[in-house]
Structures are given as structure tokens and as C-alpha cells.
Structure 1
């Protein structure tokens, strides 16, 4: 578990709320892909990290073959981002780029700066997931409230990266992954973000890890078009303009 960011004491702080009284998460955040420090010097720093393997339970027979993919030389497996393929969920959790949350009474929209082509539109009415979902990068998410905690339930995920690259390979989840996010305000500008992962094709039981997100009122999402700088067409990578000048 990563230590929570240091926050200044604010005795009179009140949790932001919407007109209907629900906690309001609208804003632009640095998520789990950052080192956080909230204070006079706002020094959130992007970092490459992933889930803590030490808290993962034992794998089932055959689970390791799904979970760990050794480096192959095939970019679609080794580094799909180099081909401008989406981060997808859950690896998007660790993106070292900003994310914007837009909250309405019945829906939450989460927009990611990285590639600009990955957004989650989440109904907040606790509706059932559709049957026979076609697996997708982001899956199918439904939210509901438990007091002041927002709970987001996601299924229907494409078999894809679990988080960021690891030494000599990558970690993946299967298409049976079931993810529950629990989100709540804990301090001025600081949101607790808990991820519970259940993947019956890989692990013997569910597991949970907690992170934090920090609100940045002055941040805005910038345009990010991966294809404009796609240097790995057909898997053959070339130097960037900056690298050529060195």
C-alpha cells in the first residue's frame, strides 16, 4: 500500500457536494501514476508503478500463464502503447497523465489525457450489467452510492494489461476480471481510491489495494494524439525527431 499524500490540516474543510447532496468528484486529478504531495509546493510527479505483487494471492493452476507474459519481441504484447493501442482498464489506473472526472446526477464521465481516446461513461443508478457483453478495453461499468463512498463495478474487460511493464515481461488480467473501485474524499483535494480485483481465471481469491488521487484545480487536459507521433508502424520503431538531433 502506498503512503497517502501529506495534506495540510484544515479544520473547517467541508467535503464538496452536488446539489442533490452527493459527494462531488468533478475536477482534474493526478491519479495512482503520480507521487503525491499536497502543500505550498504542489509537486505531484509522474512515476511508473503498478499493483503490489506481494499482496496478490496465489494463482490457480494455469493462472500464471495468463498473468505473466514474458518479453516476446511482439510489441502488441511487450509494449502495446508503442502501437498507439489503448492503455485499457485496469492499466489506465497507473497512467502518469491527468484525468478529468465530470459528475452529473445520473452519470460519471472519466476522461484520460493520455491518447484522449479513452473515456468511461458510468451510470450511477446501480443497473445490472448486460448479459453476453462483448469484451472491450474499458469494460462495462456501473456505479452506486454507499453513504459518501462511490462504488464502481466493472466487468466485460478484454484480456489485456493489468498495469505497467515489469522486468522481463508484463502482467495481464483475463476476460473474466471483475473490478470494484471505491472512491471517497478523505481530506482537502485528496480522494481515497481503492481497487478490488477478482479474476477467477488467475487468482484463488479477490485482492484489494488502496491508492490516492489528488485534485488539481488549475490543471486542464491537453490534446494528445498518439498517431501524430506513431514511431512504431507495423512494429518497426524509429527514432523521434528529438532523438535524431542528439
Structure 2
């Protein structure tokens, strides 16, 4: 199993530098407890909710960390958001500013012009993520904290969700039938959280339960209770079947669990790559209450070299309960009814409920 090249790249320079305090102080690195089968124990309930974005604010340039003052300001503002958001909402308050609190663009986008969740219903995070104590400005560890430019245009995951337009065989595109709707809307899966890579969604349910056995690791995410199974000391499948979450195999390198995933389906394309996409993840218990997570993205037809990111899971408060998701809620019947009316319009027939 030739994995050393990609596995080595999965430890960004910042992660290596983070070990320096141990060397300087002479303090021995944390040694994780062992399971009954002798594996480092990384199991339990963890959360990756964070105020740190995946990609760095361009105004911060190449700075990998916030200053202490910036960190305090960000976390104080979040505490204020929570406090104000938990107060009773005036039903006549503007959609974009309930309780006088201006909603973040991402929260507002989720509700559109009719409004969505108020801050009280969301649980995105309360803190900036630290890695070895360093408050990071982005989850990515590229120099500028951004996804590198692609060599070629990305194939949208959505080769399935787009379409339409003049002359198209499917002029209604994503509105034509249920199978053309996004997987999350259909309650099939929310790929961002379960991964790979495993990334927080900025809204809620960024919680995980890791269960270990001698031969496999199960990673369950609270969002739609997706569960990824990692086969240990196994081989990748030899066919081109592409199961949800891809084909994940794993092995232990000392106290680090290395997971390599390929065979990722097009509907789960990451940053436009899927066909030759390999994602390598590394999980290391670095303290009683910290689980270091690093990932490397490799797709030779999309990028000249691998790139990635890292963060640290923190213990979850409590356990994961059932997540209920209702397919499309009220939207799906309306979307499909609109598509049928559009078909009748093109055919010159009266819309349902209309008259001659």
C-alpha cells in the first residue's frame, strides 16, 4: 500500500511547527489511552463547530492566526449575538434584523426574503478554532488560506442539478423532478459535514460520534445521522462503483489514524473534483479534550499539487440524538407543481386550475 507521499503532505507545515513548544519545553507529547484492541482511543462525541471559516478573509492576507485582540472581539461579538438572539422576537421586526440584530449574510440567505431561522435556532459556534493554541484565521493551511486555482473548469457536482435553458433536453433543469433536487433537500445526505473532508457547516449539528472496533471505524455525524465506515488494513475497491462518501480505508501510523478515500461520486464532488479525487485525513488525539484533524486534497487533473487544512475537534456537550429531516418540507410539492405548469405553458395548455 503506497501511501507515504500523500500521507506526508497531510501534515501541513503549520502542524509541524505546532509541535515546537513540546521540543522547547522538554514536555513529552500527549499519549492517547488505548482501546481493548490496543488502538489509540479517538472514540467518543466530538464537535467541529467554529467561528473560523474554511477560507481566510482576504483582508488578512497570509496571516495564519488572529491576534489575541481580534480573537476576543470575534468571540465577544458571538456571545452578544447569542444573547440578543435568544430574546423574544417581535413578530413585526424586519426579516433581516429581528431584535435589531443584523443577521449574518449566510443566515439570511437560508431564509431568503421570507425569513428563516432566528439566531436562537442556530448553533454555529462560539469560539475561534485553535490549533496547538493558535487561533486560526482559516481551516485551510494554504499560504493565502484559499482553495488553489483549478487547472481546468470544475465539473459541478451538479452536473445533476443544472441543465435547462434553450434547446436543452431537460429545459426545467433542477426543477423537473425530485431526483434533480439537491441531496440535502431530499434528506439523503449533507456531504459537507460527513465528508470527506469533514467540515463544519456554519449553522448547526456539527457533532460527531466516533466508534472504534479492531477492523473498522464508524464516524457518525449528527446532521441527518450520516455514518461513514472506514475499513482498517483493507484495500480500495477495484471497480468504478462510487458509494456515498466514497470508499474509505484506514490504517494506524503510531497514534495517528490515516484515512484514504477515493471512488467519490459526482454528486459529492469537492471543489469541482471527483473522478480522480483522493482525500487523505489524519486524526490524532493530542490531549484529553482535543482531537487533531488534518486533510489533504489530491486531484491531478484539477490541481498541480495537493493542498489541505486542519483544525482540532473539541468534546461535544452531551450525546447525539436522532435528527429528523422531512424531504423538501413544503417546498418540493410547490417546485414540482410549478414545473408542471411551466410544461403546460410551453405546450399552450391552460395551467391547472385555469380556464379556457
TM value normalised by structure 1: 0.70
Equivalent residues in 2 for 1:1-246, closer than 5 Å = 15-31=32-48, 33-35=49-51, 46=124, 54-60=145-151, 63-66=152-155, 74=174, 80-88=183-191, 89-90=195-196, 92-95=198-201, 96-97=204-205, 98-116=207-225, 118-125=226-233, 127-161=234-268, 171-216=271-316, 218-227=317-326, 230-233=329-332, 236=335
Aligned pairs, number: 212
- Normalized per residue, which structure has more helix? 2
Structure (1 or 2) with the greater strand fraction: 1
Q: Secondary structure at the match of 2:218?
A: strand
Runs of 4 or more consecutive aligned structure 1 residues displaced over 6 Å after TM superposition: 1-4, 10-13, 75-78
Question: CA shift at 1:179, angstroms?
Answer: 0.6
Partner of 2:93: none
TM-score, structure 2 normalization: 0.50
Q: Would the alpha carbon gap of residues 189 and 141 (structure 1) be closer, same or farther in structure 2, given more than 3 Å must change?
A: same
Task: Specify whether residues 158 and 21 from structure 1 end up closer, same or farther in structure 2 by C-alpha distance, changes over 3 A only.
Answer: same
CA contact (8 A) 2:139 2:309 kept: no
SS in structure 1 opposite 2:35? coil
SS in 2 for 1:81: coil
Asked if the contact 2:196–2:261 (Cα under 8 Å) also holds between the matched residues in 1, the reply is no
Contact 1:134–1:156 (CA<8 Å) still a contact in 2?
A: yes
Distance 1:176 1:21, change over 3 A: same
Q: Is the 8 A contact 1:162 1:172 kept in 2?
A: yes
User: Compared with structure 1, are the counterparts of its residues 235 and 107 closer, same or farther at alpha carbon in structure 2 (3 Å cutoff)?
Assistant: farther
Q: Is the 8 A contact 2:44 2:209 kept in 1?
A: yes
What 5-or-longer segments of structure 2 have no aligned partner? 1-11, 19-26, 53-70, 72-78, 80-122, 126-137, 163-172, 337-356
Contact 1:84 1:230 in 2 (8 A): no
